[in-house]
Copies of this chain bind each other. A is one copy, B any other.
Amino acid sequence: MNRAEAAEACADRARVRDREATRQRILDSARELFTSSGYAQVSSRMIAAHAGVNVALINRYFGAKRGLLAEVIASEAVFPGIFEGDVQTLPRRLAEYMVRRFNEEGTPLQRALEHSGSDPDLQTVYQERLRNAIIDPLADYIGGPDARVRASLVASLLVGVTVLRRSGGAASLAGQDPTAMVRRLEHCIAACLDTEVG
Contacts and interface: CB of A to CB of B under 8 A. Distances in A.
A160 interface: yes
Q: Interface residues of A toward B: which range?
A: 35 or more
A170 B188 CA distance: 20
A64 to B, nearest CB: 15
Nearest to A191: B191
A138 to B, nearest CB: 10
A119 interface: yes
A118 B120 contact: no
B152 A173 contact: yes
9 contacts: A40-B119, A115-B120, A117-B163, A126-B167, A127-B166, A131-B169, A146-B176, A148-B172, A155-B164
